[in-house]
Amino acid sequence: MPIKEKISEDLKASMKAGNGPRKDAIRFIQAAIKQVEIDTRETLTDERIFGILQTEAKKRRDSIAEYEKVGRTDQVEKEQMELALIESYLPQQMTRDEIEHEARAVIAETGASTPKDAGSVMKVLLPRVKGKADGKLVNDVVNTLLKPQQA
């Protein structure tokens, strides 16, 4: 089932169940997708929708961090619920070990050896893990692997 259909079905189920917060979160997701469709004047593929969902998930993670700093636990809970919902529509995310394995392979392919080579590694690695890993985590893994080891 295409992801847009799944989101619509989940909205209907939330409305029937009377789950207001979930319904509102799903509508927000639909609005984000619709806005991009209007802006680009095209029907989005599942791949493009996953990109939008990842962007929305990143916004939630950033908001959670900010709300935690100021002690807004009510907002943190709301954002965490929305993040969990968004992540339920995304493909299974790669673990840090899986990202590290891919990164090591790309480092070997490109011959990268210093932190200055991180850009060339990221250029090859990001398309391989697109939709399956957070870019910030991928960058962290690459930088860790390329960091000079202390003796």
- pLDDT tens for each residue of 120-138: 888 888 888 877 777 788 8
CATH T-level topology, domain 96-146: Arc Repressor Mutant, subunit A (1.10.10)
Residue 67: predicted pLDDT: 93
- pLDDT tens for each residue of 20-46: 888 999 999 999 999 999 998 988 888
As to burial, measured by CB atoms within 10 angstroms (0-12 exposed, 13-18 middle, 19+ buried), residue 65 is: exposed
CATH 1.10.1510.10 spans which residues of the chain? 3-89
CA distances from 97 to 45, 93, 121, 148 (A): 29, 12, 17, 20
Helix (H, G, I), strand (E, B) or coil at 28: helix
Q: 80: which 2 tokens?
A: 């965490």
- pLDDT tens for each residue of 48-68: 888 888 888 889 989 999 999
Q: What is the mean pLDDT of the chain?
A: 86
Residue 81: predicted pLDDT: 92
Residue 149: predicted pLDDT: 57
- pLDDT tens for each residue of 103-123: 888 888 888 888 888 888 888
As to burial, measured by CB atoms within 10 angstroms (0-12 exposed, 13-18 middle, 19+ buried), residue 5 is: exposed
Contacts of 32 by beta carbon, 8 Å cutoff, 6+ apart? 52, 55, 56
Enter the pTM of the model: 0.68
CATH code for 3-89? 1.10.1510.10
CATH 1.10.10.410 spans which residues of the chain? 96-146
The arithmetic mean of pLDDT across residues 69-75, rounded, is: 90
| Cβ–Cβ < 8 Å for 85, 60 | no
